[in-house]
Structure 1
């Protein structure tokens, strides 16, 4: 089956099997930030944006994305780098395996709710698995980023 997806702003066409998953499609096109973690749609490591909405690419058939826009962390480098530094400053990137999915979900949260409360942050990111930390570093990183963003906007 021939599909065409706009992947990180570039049209990509490929033949895929009817049961091919979106995670396999994006990884086969060099998007290695999208990772397999659980194979059960529970860890958030495979998060991509499908038409600007976060989805678990291990749960979406590649054919379902035909004609749509898919964005991975590779397509959001500038936006991700700005936020990712705050996570690193809090020591929340111990092994780094969960970072791409975590950052994708945090960016989706900020787009949906620019200034979430602590409870809203915890609720939104509940589906992200991190085996190294207790999530406190990530939470502190998000809160530091939001405080920085508020002060930056106030200065403008």
Structure 2
């Protein structure tokens, strides 16, 4: 077993046995080589997304954890959120520029749940139509321009 597979096996075991609140995964839905995971996240109580369930797809390459996983929302319920495009791509700095091998799948899930929980208004990013029409199939090949939401 390669180093990245050992790391993924350890993270999978942790998620199955001790999932954070609002996060669930079943061992059956992961690819045999651990490269693709489907994880369900549920909107937190007292947020705009309370009771809603979303599916995240994680894709890993042999460089993980030195490269970030590709993470997108999939399925019929893509959250309407200022940092989530209608094709499921997520604009979140820890998935690209701010990725570090110290992060984990669990940390990414918690960051996405936090992003959803802090949302004040359900709306798509202002450039959604243009982005979806012109983007790469992989969000990891996108050059993101992160902006400050506090302005």
TM-score (normalizing by structure 1): 0.31
TM-score by length of 2: 0.32
- Larger-gyration structure (1/2): 1
**Greater relative CO, 1 or 2 (CA 8 Å, sep 6+):** 1
